[in-house]
């Protein structure tokens, strides 16, 4: 049985890992996401959320990056 689920980064809970499969963002936001290393097949780990729930902190290629939930919805992942 295949338990891999495709969703977006905003669905990742603290402590969970996933692989980036694609970006739906356009323009300057897409460029920013690519610049921080969010390219296809990148492993992402959710480290936690702020007290109010936005933004969330992610470990991406050894760096901790905070991403707003609005932007997380444009990052398509496959849970592992």
Written as six digits, the tokens of 40 are 């296809």
pLDDT at 5: 59
3-class secondary structure per residue, 6-67: EEEHHHCCCCCEEEEEEECCCHHHHHHHHHCCCCCCCEEEEEEECCCCCCEEEEECCEEEEE
Q: What is the DSSP letter of 76?
A: E
Domain with 48 in it: what CATH number? 2.30.30.90
Query: How many domains does the chain divide into?
Result: 1
1 in any annotated domain: no
Q: Which domain holds residue 58?
A: 6-79
15 in any annotated domain: yes
Widest CA span in the chain: 39
Average pLDDT, 10 consecutive residues per value, the chain (80 residues):
68 93 94 92 93 90 93 90
pLDDT at 79: 82
pLDDT at 27: 94
Question: Is residue 77 classed as helix, strand or coil in its secondary structure?
Answer: strand
């Amino acid at each position: 049985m295949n338990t891999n689920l495709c969703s977006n980064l905003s669905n990742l809970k603290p402590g969970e890992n996933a692989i980036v499969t694609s970006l739906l963002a356009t323009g300057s936001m897409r460029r920013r996401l690519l610049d921080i290393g969010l390219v296809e097949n990148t492993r992402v780990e959710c480290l936690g959320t702020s007290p109010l729930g936005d933004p969330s902190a992610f470990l991406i290629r050894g760096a901790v990056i905070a991403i707003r939930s609005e932007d997380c919805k444009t990052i398509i992942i496959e849970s592992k």
